[in-house]
Amino acid sequence: MLNTIGYDGPLSVEWEDAGMDRLVGAPEALAFVRSLAFDAPTDAFDAAFSTRR
């Protein structure tokens, strides 16, 4: 969603898990956050319904 508005600044992950070392959990959190950074669609949502096949 942030890519849609052109945001490319820093992201912050809050750490409140005393049961996991941050050096173990941080790479997992980073991978998860990066997996959410996908490109916005190039077509309108309803564009697929206007084409006949």
Number of domains in the chain: 1
- Residue 46 resides in a domain: no
- Residue 36 resides in a domain: yes
- Residue 13 resides in a domain: no
- Residue 14 resides in a domain: no
Q: Return left, alpha or beta for 6; rule: phi > 0 is left, psi -120 to 50 is alpha, else beta.
A: left
The predicted-structure confidence for 1-53, as pLDDT tens digits, reads as follows: 777 788 889 888 888 888 989 899 999 998 998 888 777 778 888 877 876 66
CA angle 19–23–26, rounded 5-degree value:
90
CA–CA dist 16, 29 (Å, integer): 12
The reported pLDDT for the residue numbered 51 is 67
| Contact call for residues 41 and 5 (beta carbons, < 8 A) | no
Range of the domain at 30: 1-8+20-41
Query: What is the pTM for the complete model shown?
Result: 0.56
